[in-house]
Amino acid sequence: MIRHLLKLVWNRKRANALIVAEIFISFLVVFAVLTGAVTLITGWRQPLGFSYGDVWDVRMEFDFDANEKAPPELLATVARMLDEARGLPQVAAAGISTTPAYSFSTSEGTRGINGREVTMLFDDVDDGFAEVMKLQVLSGRWFSKEDDAAQYRPVVLDRNAAEAIYGSTDVIGRTFEENEETTCKVVGVVAPYRKDGEASLPMNMVFRRIAPDGSYGRLGNHILLRLHPGTPADFEPELVARLQKVAPAMSFRVRHMDQMRGNFLRTRFSPIVLGGVVGMFLIAMVTLGLTGVLWQTVTRRTREIGLRRALGASGIGVRRQILLEVALLATIALVAGSAIILQLPILGVFTLVTPAAFVTGFAAALATIYALTVVCGLYPSWLASRLEPADALRYE
Amino acid sequence: MLANYIKTALKVLRRRKFFTFISLFGISFTLVVLMVAVAMLDNVFSPRQPESRFDHVLGVHTVGLYGPHFGMTTNPGYGFINQYVRGLKDVENMSLFTTSSPLTMYHEGRKIDTHLRRTDGAYWQILDFKFLEGGPFTEEDNRNANFVAVITDEMRRTLFNGQSALGRTIELDGQRFRVIGVVPAVAITRNVGFSEVWAPVGTLKTREHEKRMIGDFGAIVLARSPRDFAAIRREFKERLANFVFEDPKNFDRVEAGLDTPFELVARNMIGNQYQGNRVLVLQAILVLMALLFVTLPTMNLVSINLSRILERASEIGVRKAFGASSVTLIGQFVVENVVLTLIGGAIGFVLSVLALSAVARLEIVPFAVFDVNLRIFGYGVLLSAAFGIISGVYPAWRMSRMQPVNALRGGVL
């Protein structure tokens, strides 16, 4: 049966080539849309590794040339601002970050460690950061005063980074980075920290300490405050006035992290959702087009079908033949499409999606395309099965 | 003849309504997507108020510093602009300004998120803001550090309920400004024109910025004509050749360009390594993306057209038997297909106007107004005609090669 169908398909190879190519491209589109959707949905439900409620972000505007150390007077001013904030009854904790969660700035780097290239996100933070963001320390400890006298620069990794770099989570005291000037040592591991929140891709996070005396670490320009729950929004002008008094030359912008989150996620997801909608429309268009083409094919093959009916084929048999032909075309396209999609892991797609999402998306795309092509064939095949042999044979 | 073709085309369209629907759905949807993309690009790149003179304007918005271990690209600083951009020959006017920085202000117990940009007096001469009330501040205001500000009508509505703002005081960034002018809101996509509040550079809190090579500034120069661009760029390059590195151990190469808005986007997206033909690369990427997107709709339309043409095999057979050449037949079917796509294009145009107003209402791009002007309409007509020709030629060619004998019998393609 299949071999016979193959012959039929081959005999009309030119017309079929176009259909196969169409299904092939649709398959790639469906795969992209579904894998994206699975990634988003699974990503949305994973723990963030921090808590954004009741956190305010005070962005300070100051500039000093990159690579240059923060001037001592600026360090002193920022330290005084932190003290001032901590002294307010509404503030539960305060800390510094360079690239806070849900902000659009990111510091990314690739290091060759133990012979492996690992891509990491960095954030320069101070001792108070963990308490503000409620990071969960899994092993070791967070930065503290005891690092002041240490001969090394401390770093804290999240669990993903520890596993990616050292292949285990037992990493306390191991060397992170070494050059002629200093050594970086791991002092703690925290739960996976998803900097971009629900929109994060799988990523390795590394926290570097900002030394209070400015001897290492780049001074971040975000002061993060954790407020006591229920603090009214009109505390904001008071806060800014207090900070402005400590640092008259500085400009501020205060944002609540839940608003930053909404803004960030909207910006991140709008293009993805837009792409998904466009993809859906494309598929709808192809589905309609395929139905039309199959319909036309059936009409053109009326006499062939009539002959089969006259020779005793049942309506169901004819119907099955048409549907199987469509499924065969789909299979050819899907084999070609799979051959391409299965190359993606080699090209490093797993930095963007998890293997689980990849597999789910792939399987779902296969099922969707089969289902769609069969649906396209249903009406034309029904038409074909209803043909009266006598009429069909006389059809001109 | 053409009238005849069009008449036939319309007749054919009415014959098989399902096919017509599929074709029109595909065409109009494709055009909606392309038109929305074109309108957005047009909104970003075309010279329009307040940047209507920007076909004569070049901007310095990035400085790249490179060294043996480390490279970075940021906004230029005030010192850099003063030293290397100010006073270029062949330049009619020059302005420097800070990037528009997001700030929070507290007004009568309310929190208002806004943007502040500090500029000089020349800014208001190069950009053509239509003042709704009052006027701009001058270079004199800038030099004397007068605390005056221009705001948008959106800000006026938020702050003063739409009543006249002239002479009113706003408190922003720990400073108090007197409002002296109100302008219409500017789309956030406008790199130079956008802000919500403008104040003189002289009102900055410290003088730290004056010696900085990198920082938060930008500059534009107004040329007498785009023909002078090359000369201005050459001179700027010569000046940069004498750039003084503060930290020669870490940085020994500097790069900055006088860019048109399109070149700036190309620079930000593609990076500095594609010297010169960066613009071409970006254009190629955009065209490639459009082509990729159009592939599926085109294939769909082609296969539908092939099916439809088969129905008319006997008509073609008769015409061929009576001596119609392949070229004539191809011409006829391409015309028919273009008629079809133009109908689809008209539907698509109406839909894209709706889609654009929806995009504007959702405020995905703050303050942007996606108006559909004649230029965009022109793009739309062009796009749909091109689409029609591309998807019409192949089926027509296949059909025109049919043997008359086969065709008369209801032929096989």
- For tokens 């007749």, name the residue: B11
C-alpha to C-alpha distance for B111 and B371, rounded to whole angstroms = 31
> Nearest CA to CA, how far is B312 from chain A (Å)?
12
Taking CA atoms, what residue in B is nearest to A26? B296
C-alpha to C-alpha distance for B158 and B126, rounded to whole angstroms = 28
B101 CB neighbours in chain A (<8 A) are 61, 251, 253
Tell me the CA distances in angstroms from B269 to A65, A351, B233, B274, B279, one per residue in order.
23, 21, 21, 11, 10
C-alpha to C-alpha distance for A119 and A165, rounded to whole angstroms = 10
B295 CB neighbours in chain A (<8 A) are 25
Taking CA atoms, what residue in A is nearest to B309? A296
pTM for the full predicted model? 0.76
| Contact yes or no for B322/B368 (Cβ under 8 A) | no
B33 CB neighbours in chain A (<8 A) are 278, 281
Q: Does A84 touch chain B (CB under 8 A)?
A: no
Tell me the CA distances in angstroms from A244 to A81, A233, A239, one per residue in order.
9, 18, 8
C-alpha to C-alpha distance for A102 and A260, rounded to whole angstroms = 6
Total number of residues shown for chain A: 396
Structure tokens at B407: 């065709």
Q: Do B306 and A233 touch (CB under 8 A)?
A: no
Interface size A-B, in CB pairs within 8 Å, comes to 113
State the burial class of residue A181 (Cβ atoms within 10 Å of its Cβ: 0-12, 13-18, 19+): exposed
Task: Write the single-letter amino acid at A150.
Answer: A
Averaged pLDDT of chain A? 86
Chain B residues 393-412 within an 8 A CB cutoff of chain A: 410
Q: Do A250 and B205 touch (CB under 8 A)?
A: yes
Q: Do B173 and A251 touch (CB under 8 A)?
A: yes
Task: Write the single-letter amino acid at B253.
Answer: R
Q: Do B304 and A293 touch (CB under 8 A)?
A: yes
Among B233, B226, B277, which residue's Cα sits nearest to residue B255? B233
Please give the ipTM for the structure prediction.
0.72
| Contact yes or no for A50/A207 (Cβ under 8 A) | no
Among A267, A181, A218, which residue's Cα sits nearest to residue A107? A218
Could you tell me the mean pLDDT of each successive run of 10 residues in chain A, 396 residues long?
Answer: 79 82 91 89 89 91 64 88 94 93 82 75 92 94 89 90 85 80 88 90 88 83 92 84 88 84 83 84 88 83 81 84 88 93 83 84 94 88 81 70
A236 CB neighbours in chain B (<8 A) are 104, 106, 111
- Closest Cβ opposite residue A289 in set B22, B250, B311: B22
In B202-277, which ranges are continuous DSSP H helix?
229-241, 261-270
| Contact yes or no for A119/A109 (Cβ under 8 A) | yes
Taking CA atoms, what residue in A is nearest to B409? A396
- Residue among A56, A65, A107, A260 with most chain B CBs within 10 A, to mutate: A65
Low-confidence ranges of chain B (pLDDT < 50): 274, 413
C-alpha to C-alpha distance for B240 and B256, rounded to whole angstroms = 8
B206 CB neighbours in chain A (<8 A) are 249
- Residue among B20, B63, B65, B104 with most chain A CBs within 10 A, to mutate: B104
- Closest Cβ opposite residue B295 in set A25, A65, A252: A25
What DSSP assignment string belongs to B147-179?
-EEEEEHHHHHHHHTTS--TT-EEEETTEEEEE
B106 CB neighbours in chain A (<8 A) are 236-237, 240
Q: Is the C-alpha dihedral spanning B398, B400, B405, B409 positive or negative?
A: positive
Chain A residues 134-193 within an 8 A CB cutoff of chain B: none
Taking CA atoms, what residue in A is nearest to B18? A292
- Closest Cβ opposite residue A253 in set B104, B214, B304: B104
Q: Do B29 and A281 touch (CB under 8 A)?
A: yes
B306 CB neighbours in chain A (<8 A) are 15, 18, 293
- How high is the pLDDT of residue B223? 93
Structure tokens at A307: 């002959």
With H, G, I as helix, E, B as strand and everything else as coil, classify residue A238.
Answer: helix
Task: Write the single-letter amino acid at A244.
Answer: Q
Residues 6+ apart with CB under 8 A from B319: B329
- Closest Cβ opposite residue B310 in set A14, A292, A296: A296
- Closest Cβ opposite residue A236 in set B111, B214, B293: B111
C-alpha to C-alpha distance for A165 and A255, rounded to whole angstroms = 34
- Residue among A245, A293, A303, A304 with most chain B CBs within 10 A, to mutate: A293
With H, G, I as helix, E, B as strand and everything else as coil, classify residue A62.
Answer: coil
C-alpha to C-alpha distance for B146 and A3, rounded to whole angstroms = 87
> Nearest CA to CA, how far is A286 from chain B (Å)?
6
As beta bridge partners, residue A120 has: A109, A204
Q: Do B104 and A66 touch (CB under 8 A)?
A: no
Q: Is the C-alpha dihedral spanning A319, A322, A327, A328 positive or negative?
A: positive
State the burial class of residue B325 (Cβ atoms within 10 Å of its Cβ: 0-12, 13-18, 19+): exposed
> Nearest CA to CA, how far is B202 from chain A (Å)?
14
| Contact yes or no for B109/A234 (Cβ under 8 A) | yes
Chain B residues 228-257 within an 8 A CB cutoff of chain A: 246-247, 250
Taking CA atoms, what residue in B is nearest to A241? B174
Q: Do A251 and B101 touch (CB under 8 A)?
A: yes
As beta bridge partners, residue B72 has: B65
- For tokens 């003084």, name the residue: B244
- Residue among A283, A300, A304 with most chain B CBs within 10 A, to mutate: A300
| Contact yes or no for B228/B92 (Cβ under 8 A) | no
Total number of residues shown for chain B: 413
Structure tokens at B137: 């501040």
Q: Do B206 and A19 touch (CB under 8 A)?
A: no
> Nearest CA to CA, how far is B19 from chain A (Å)?
6
B299 CB neighbours in chain A (<8 A) are 18, 21-22, 25
Chain A residues 220-239 within an 8 A CB cutoff of chain B: 233-234, 236-237
B99: DSSP letter: P
- Closest Cβ opposite residue B206 in set A249, A292, A296: A249
The secondary element (H helix, E strand) that includes residue B41 is: helix B17-45
Q: Does B33 touch chain A (CB under 8 A)?
A: yes
Residues 6+ apart with CB under 8 A from B107: B158, B159, B170, B171
Q: Do A234 and B109 touch (CB under 8 A)?
A: yes
